[in-house]
Amino acid sequence: MKVTRELFDQVMAPNYNPANMIPVRGKGSRIWDQNEVEYVDFAGGIAVNSLGHCHPEMVAALNEQSQKLWHLSNVFTNEPALRLAKKLTDVTFAEHVYFANSGAEANEAALKLARRWALDHYGEQKNQIISFKQGFHGRTFFTVTVGGQPAYSDGFGPKPGAIDHATYNDLASLQALMSDNTCAVMMEPLQGEGGIISPTPEFVQGVRELCNKHNALLIFDEVQSGVGRTGQLYAYMGLGVTPDILSTAKALGGGFPIGAMLTTKAIAASLKVGTHGSTYGGNPLACAVAERVLDIVNTDEVLNGVKRKEQMFRDGLNAINDKYHVFNEIRGKGLLLGAALNEKYQGRARDFLVASVEEQLMCLVAGANVVRFAPSLIIPDEDIKEGLARFERAVARVVNG
């Protein structure tokens, strides 16, 4: 069968609009399409491919596990899931782990747990969930409603109730919504889809204090910011604040679908037998790969490398901007960075993405006004330099029309 981009339009639901080229193989931070055209990957599958494409240790872990056990229901447990859970609890605040298949599912579990915990300890009136405008927490109906972008949740009928949205980095906005009926505040410790917005230390500390005051749980959505992305294993570790529940996915599997919710023993106690579940959660293949990813990422070499590579990106993007004057700032932390367009180029982030593909570079957008970069955490320096050279040519394309 001849596979073309036109086949997508014939057989796939029209909720995506992929590029015309079709990638067929990758190695490290390079991708090749059907015509053997080579691209530098600054997108990382939206912060997923933490070790690039086909990392040999990930391939080995998958091959090894594929010869042993592929799937069990959660009537049974399995060794890879238990090893991964132990490693996650050893290196974070958490004492218990729930496995899922994606970030949305990890967030769904976090939100359901928060509501059940509040019911168990305070009663059914304590059900309010507060999150932040421009936040993003997944595409299930519960998580997309909690996310602070109505365009993603409008048009699907009545939304789940008792959900309110405050303004990110505005503590007074949150304070005005909170009461003793608040069961949880959910936030990204670095907003991704909302434009690569970092929180101020005062804001994060203030959110924690308000949660303490009102006996509400603080949920950190680290689906995009976690597993080394910011130069810390998890972003909360660099903020001086510990959440009560944390969700992780994306980079955890390095490209193999997996999600996890992490929390304390006392809070996890509300997730009693039968209250929640997942057919594929804790899948042996996924957990075997994720265990190897965690072992590699959680090293000084990789985490310090992320911080050094961040500076390379910042220096390169600022040099491009000195020439073409298209950005008003470079945002973000580690290797989750955003080039925010200035007034002259408002609404044109996708133009820069399309031009980048034409220059054989893969990047992302975060809304209409931010070009986003989320490459492999171990992207070689030479690939950063080559990718930035291609991005400069893409910028020149847009600027020169």
**Residue 103 annotated in ligand binding:** yes
CB 394 within 8 A of CB 352: yes
C-beta atoms surrounding 205 within 10 Å: 15
Residue 392: which of 320, 314, 342 has the closest Cα? 320
Sheet hosting strand 163-166, strand order edge to edge: 96-100, 259-263, 245-248, 217-221, 182-187, 128-132, 163-166
42 counts as catalytic:
no
Q: Residue 314: in which H helix or E strand, if any?
A: helix 300-324
- Tell me: is residue 360 an annotated ligand-binding position: no
DSSP secondary structure letter of residue 225: T
Would strands 364-365 and 370-373 be described as parallel, antiparallel, or unpaired?
antiparallel
Question: Does 354 appear as a known binding residue?
Answer: no
Quickly count helices (H) and strands (E) in the chain.
Answer: 14, 15
Contact 132, 218 (CB under 8 A): no
How many angstroms separate the CA atoms of 104 and 112, rounded? 12
Cα–Cα–Cα angle for 337, 32, 18, rounded to 5 degrees: 65
Is 250 catalytic? The answer is: yes
Active-site annotation holder among 42, 126, 221, 244: 221
Q: Is 279 annotated as a binding residue?
A: yes
Catalytic residue among 250, 256, 313, 333: 250
Alpha-carbon gap, residue 370 to 341, rounded angstroms: 6
352 marked ligand binding residue: no
32, 28, 29: which is closest to 56 by C-alpha? 28
Nearest to 231 by CA among 313, 114, 323: 313
Question: Exactly one of 136, 220, 256, 313 is catalytic; which is it?
Answer: 136
Backbone angles phi, psi at 152, to 5 degrees: -85, -20
221 annotated to a ligand binding site:
yes
Catalytic (active site) residue 159: no
Non-local (6+) Cβ contacts of 158 within 8 A are: none
Provide the strand spans (E) within 57-121: 96-100
How far CA 299 is from CA of 64, 83, 139, 277, in Å, comes to: 23, 18, 32, 32
Question: Do 133 and 167 contact (CB within 8 A), yes or no?
Answer: yes
**Residues noted as catalytic:** 136, 221, 250
The binding site comprises 103-104, 136, 139, 221-224, 278-279
Annotated binding-site residue numbers for pyridoxal 5'-phosphate: 103-104, 136, 221-224, 279
* Binding residue ranges for N(2)-acetyl-L-ornithine: 139, 278
